[in-house]
Every structure is written in structure tokens, then in C-alpha cells.
């Protein structure tokens, strides 16, 4: 069912593409109602319009808070065309049908980025705009709603094709997009007010997001997939290479989660299947990469490398020697890009502007959502307690904290072995903690040349409930262990460590990653 457009209301914050709309409205003799800055803009461009206050015979009041909120406007939008009762009520009140509404809202989300002044933000909550949009979208059988300049071209094509009318297909689509927008807009405001009231988990929760892109598929080819962001972008940028996949994104976030907990501009992380397979914080960038790679060079093949520093020509030369899916850097210099872009499929990601404050982790399963704060706290020495008789040196203590930091980013049950602030063995995702110990040890023996005097440190993401895990590590050269406390057998574990002459440090908090 096509619907002839005779009258339109236009109220815009973003007036950038208004000329293209005015031109076609004039062509089909569509009368325009407008107010404020939009009305001035329309007239400045040489088109006619009637001010809202003149149309309603009611002045704007309350410093512009009340402009379009008038029964003449909403009756004109919400009336059912062809309904005798509605027609008679419009005639009785001298109201007119309104067929087209073009609105965008006060930029509340943009205002959040510019100011923390609560009163200013409240004034940037749009009332009239969303109300116009909801009314028009509800009555889409007869009325057309446009909420973004991105829709103008499609609208103009539909109007031209139908000679001044819009199709039911277009109106229904615009209605759906309109309700998406009002839900998004309200959820941004709701999130802001929750933060103002220190409420992390309100009784009702709406998650808002902007579509970044529809992906080729999900984890597997038969699964549909897309990525959304609460911001207008992800905070990192792809510089070259083929499109990122669902699995690429999953690995990228796993790598960045670790990188962001490392010292500033130091450290290399290699990830495969969302688990680290090598991490090093050697201050020498090339050596850092080589040490991370040496932890498990087989798993690193086809993996993702996250460099917590700007990638230079020399680093790029090393990276180009291995087949990788993605390389992340805190920027790339010109020479490094020349080298790495030679591999056309290699995705290069610039994360130099990435910020990660007050973020949430969201996991969905069977139409339910699990929400939690991110486990990205920067560890300090007072988060830990030395419980063994033998005390660690300052260097060993710092290296243990490094091991524990990596360990919390490995899927449970997790064991991480390190030497000189580089991983040398990682065991992940096992139902038995002892099995994770054995995997980490086997990796170490396979890829590392361990000398008698080498100090090997071990980290566990949860406590050892029995002495067997610590015994297995000790038998294979581990001389210091860091783990959370909380087992009913903590005293037995401490006693056993002392009998072995091991250093044992307890974390005051547990750090699982399931």
C-alpha cells in the first residue's frame, strides 16, 4: 500500500544532508513544518516552511523544552487514514494529517564525550524527538519516519519511484530502524544514569551497540555472525589484510587483554585459539618477540601477535619470517608497513589509541547474558603474601607476578612456567590441574634448553588442592610457585613447599578464566 505524502515535519540536530531532502519535497509539493535552527536552515537554503508555533498556534515554552509536544501534531501523525471516527475528530479540532517526520536527536552520546557536567548532559536528553519518532513509527501503515541522513537516498528513490508516495515496504523498514534508534538512545541515557548512581546491575538492562560489520560467518561456516561496539568504532583500526573473522576478533581481544596489563610500551604476546602460547616482557623488542615465540613456536604458527609497542623495521623483519594471521601494534612505522603489507592477507591492527576503562565482559548462552567486570587489575606486591620460609628476591617476586598475570589470561585449569619474565611452558583448559602441569612441563622440555642454574617459576590460576601438583612442578625444576590461597589444605601445601625448599607466594584473590 503506497501512501501519498502531503505534509512533513522536520527537526534536525544533524542538518548536513538536508538539501537533498528539501529538493524532492518541493518537487512533490509537500508542505514543511519546522522549528528553531532547522526552520532557519530551511529558509536560508531558499525553501518554504511553516514554524511549529504558527502551525499549532502555541508558542515554544520552557526554554524550548516544549516545542512539538502538541495534540495537533500527534493527532496528525497518529490518526488512522480512512477511519471515519479519526477523520471526524481531526475535522472537529481543525487538525491536519502529517505523513512524514524527519528527525534526529540531541547528541547525548556525543555530549558524554565532551563534558561531565551533569546539568548540561540532562539538557541534552531529547524528549520531543524520540516522541515524534515513536508516534510515526507506530503508525507506519500511513506515515514515514526518517531518523538518519543515511536513509535519505533510499527515501528519495522510493518517493521518485512511486511519484510522491512511499511504499509500505519502506515505511515498515524505517519503523524498525526508528525503534532500534529510540531503544539505543534510551539505553545510553540509562547507562549514564546507572553510572551516576553506582548501579552496575539494574533490574532491567538494555545493551546498546553500533554495527561494525557483518562477518563472513561465525566460529564455523554455518553460523551467521556480526560484531557490534558500544562506541562508533572498536578503538583499534585495521590497516591492511583481508577481512577479520569471528575467530580473529576473539583472538585479538584475548591478546589485547594481556598486552594492556603489561608495562607501558613493553612486551610481546602470541595467542592461538584465545589462549596465550608465548609472552615476554624483555625490554629489547626483538628479543621480546623471539622469547615469546620460543615458548611454543609450533602453536604460534598461524596465530596472532600483539606487540605492546610501536613496530619498527627490524621487528617487522622478524615477524615476517613466520606465517601469522594478525599482527597488532601500538602503531607501525613507515618501513615496517612496507615490509608487512607485502603479505596481502596478513591483517595489521593499530591499537595505539585503544582505551580500556570501565569495560564489561559479556557472554551469551541460550538467550541469557552473563555480565562481569573485566579481570584487568594491575597487580601490585601488596596483592600477594609470601608464605614460605624462603623469601623471594625482588626480581623473583616481580617475575612471579608476571607469571601470575599471564596465568589469569589462560583458560582454566591454567599453569604457566616462566624464566626471566618470559613464558617457557603453558598448560591450559584441563579438567585436572596436574594435567595442566604436565602439559606445561612437556612444552618446556620440548622447546627450551634449561640449564641447571636456571630459575623456573610456576603460576597457577587457583590453589593446588593437594600437594601432587606442586610435587610435579618441583620434580621438573620449578623452584618458586605463585597461586591463590583458599584451600582447606593450604597449611599442608605450605609445609610441603618448605620441605622442598621452594618459594611459595599466595595471591589474595583467585583469577579463573573459563
CB 455 within 8 A of CB 390: no
Cell digits for 502? 621452594
CA distance 229 to 212: 7
CB neighbours (10 Å) of residue 191? 18
Sign of the torsion formed by the C-alpha atoms of 68, 73, 78 and 81: negative
The grid coordinates of residue 245 equal 573473522
Residues in the chain: 514
Burial 32-70 (b: 16+ CB within 10 A, else e): bbbbeebbebbeeeebebbbbbebbebebeeeeeebbeb
Q: Single out the catalytic residue among 40, 173, 273, 310.
A: 273
As a whole number of angstroms, the distance between CA 121 and CA 109 comes to: 9
Cα–Cα distance between 189 and 507 in angstroms, integer? 38
Beta-sheet strands, E only, within 23-179: 31-34, 50-51, 100-103, 144-146, 165-166
Between CA 26 and CA 385 the distance in angstroms is 76
- Report helix, strand or coil for 482: strand
Question: Which one of 138, 141, 290, 317 is the catalytic residue?
Answer: 138
Closest by CA position to 122, among listed 189, 32, 74, 72? 189
Q: Which three cell numbers stand for residue 420?
A: 626471566
472 C-beta neighbours (distance < 10 Å), count? 21
For 71, phi and psi rounded to 5 degrees? -60, -30
Phi, psi dihedrals of residue 317, rounded to the nearest 5°: -60, -40
For residue 200, give the nearest of 360, 357, 355 by alpha carbon.
Answer: 360
The reply to whether 242 belongs to the active site is: no
Which triple of cell numbers denotes residue 460? 597457577
Q: Longest Cα pair distance anywhere in the chain, in angstroms?
A: 98
Q: Of 104, 164, 141, 148, nearest to 156 (Cα)?
A: 164
Q: CA–CA separation, 180 vs 177, rounded Å?
A: 5
Q: For residue 460, how far is the Cα from the chain centroid?
A: 29
Rounded to whole angstroms, the Cα distance separating 425 from 441 reads 6
* 273 is a catalytic site residue: yes
Contacts of 55 (CB under 8 A, 6+ apart): 33, 72, 73
| Cα–Cα distance for residue pair 466/488, rounded to 1 Å | 10
What dihedral do alpha carbons 423, 429, 433, 439 form, nearest 10°? -50
Query: Which residues are CB-contacts of 82 (< 8 A; sequence separation ≥ 6)?
Result: none
* Residue positions annotated with a catalytic role: 138, 273
Amino acid at each position: 500500500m503506497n501512501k501519498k505524502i502531503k505534509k512533513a515535519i522536520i527537526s534536525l540536530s544533524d542538518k548536513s544532508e538536508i538539501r537533498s531532502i528539501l529538493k524532492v519535497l518541493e518537487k512533490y509539493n509537500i508542505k514543511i513544518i519546522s522549528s528553531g535552527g532547522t526552520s532557519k536552515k530551511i529558509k536560508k537554503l531558499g525553501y518554504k516552511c511553516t514554524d511549529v508555533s504558527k502551525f499549532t498556534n502555541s508558542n515554544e515554552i520552557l526554554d524550548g523544552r516544549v516545542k512539538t509536544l502538541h495534540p495537533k501534531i500527534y493527532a496528525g501523525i497518529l490518526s488512522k487514514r480512512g477511519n471515519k471516527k479519526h477523520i471526524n475528530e481531526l475535522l472537529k479540532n481543525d487538525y491536519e494529517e502529517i505523513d512524514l517526520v524527519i528527525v534526529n536527536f540531541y547528541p547525548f552520546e556525543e555530549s558524554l564525550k565532551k563534558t561531565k557536567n551533569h546539568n548540561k548532559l540532562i539538557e541534552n536528553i531529547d524528549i520531543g524527538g524520540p516522541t515524534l519518532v515513536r508516534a510515526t513509527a507506530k503508525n507506519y501503515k500511513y506515515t514515514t519516519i526518517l531518523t538518519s541522513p543515511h536513509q535519505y537516498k533510499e527515501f528519495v528513490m522510493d518517493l521518485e519511484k512511486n511519484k510522491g508516495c512511499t511504499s509500505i515496504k519502506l515505511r515498515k523498514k524505517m519503523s524498525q530502524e526508528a525503534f532500534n534508534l529510540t531503544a539505543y538512545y534510551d539505553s545510553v541515557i540509562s547507562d549514564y544514569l546507572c553510572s551516576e548512581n553506582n548501579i552496575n546491575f539494574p533490574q532491567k538492562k538494555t545493551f546498546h551497540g553500533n554495527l561494525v560489520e557483518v562477518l563472513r560467518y561465525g566460529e564455523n561456516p554455518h553460523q551467521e555472525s556480526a560484531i557490534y561496539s558500544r562506541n562508533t568504532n572498536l578503538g583499534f583500526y585495521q590497516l591492511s589484510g583481508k577481512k577479520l573473522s569471528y575467530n580473529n576478533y576473539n583472538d585479538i581481544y584475548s591478546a589485547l587483554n594481556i598486552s594492556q596489563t603489561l608495562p607501558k610500551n613493553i612486551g610481546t604476546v602470541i595467542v592461538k585459539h584465545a589462549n596465550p602460547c608465548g609472552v615476554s616482557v624483555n625490554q629489547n623488542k626483538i628479543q621480546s618477540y623471539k622469547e615469546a615465540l620460543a615458548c611454543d613456536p609450533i602453536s604460534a604458527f598461524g596465530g596472532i601477535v600483539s606487540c605492546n609497542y610501536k613496530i619498527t623495521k627490524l621487528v617487522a623483519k622478524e615477524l615476517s619470517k613466520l606465517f601469522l594471521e594478525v599482527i597488532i601494534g601500538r602503531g607501525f612505522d613507515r618501513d615496517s608497513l612496507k615490509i608487512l603489507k607485502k603479505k596481502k592477507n596478513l591483517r595489521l591492527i593499530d591499537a595505539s589509541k585503544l582505551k580500556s576503562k570501565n569495560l564489561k565482559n559479556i557472554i551469551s548462552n541460550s538467550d541469557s547474558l552473563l555480565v562481569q567486570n573485566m579481570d584487568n587489575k594491575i597487580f601490585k606486591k601488596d596483592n600477594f603474601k609470601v608464605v614460605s620460609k624462603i623469601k623471594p628476591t625482588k626480581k623473583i617476586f616481580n617475575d612471579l607476578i608476571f607469571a601470575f598475570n599471564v596465568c589469569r589470561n589462560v583458560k582454566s585449569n591454567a599453569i604457566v612456567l616462566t624464566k626471566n619474565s618470559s613464558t617457557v611452558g603453558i598448560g591450559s583448559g584441563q579438567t585436572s590441574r596436574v594435567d595442566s602441569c604436565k602439559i606445561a612441563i612437556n612444552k618446556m622440555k620440548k622447546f627450551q634448553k634449561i640449564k641447571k642454574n636456571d630459575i623456573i617459576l610456576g603460576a597457577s590460576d587457583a590453589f593446588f588442592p593437594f600437594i601432587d601438583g606442586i610435587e610435579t612442578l618441583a620434580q621438573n625444576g620449578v623452584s618458586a610457585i605463585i597461586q591463590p590461597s583458599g584451600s582447606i589444605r593450604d597449611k599442608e601445601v605450605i609445609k610441603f613447599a618448605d620441605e622442598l625448599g621452594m618459594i611459595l607466594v599466595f595471591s589474595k584473590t583467585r583469577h579463573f578464566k573459563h
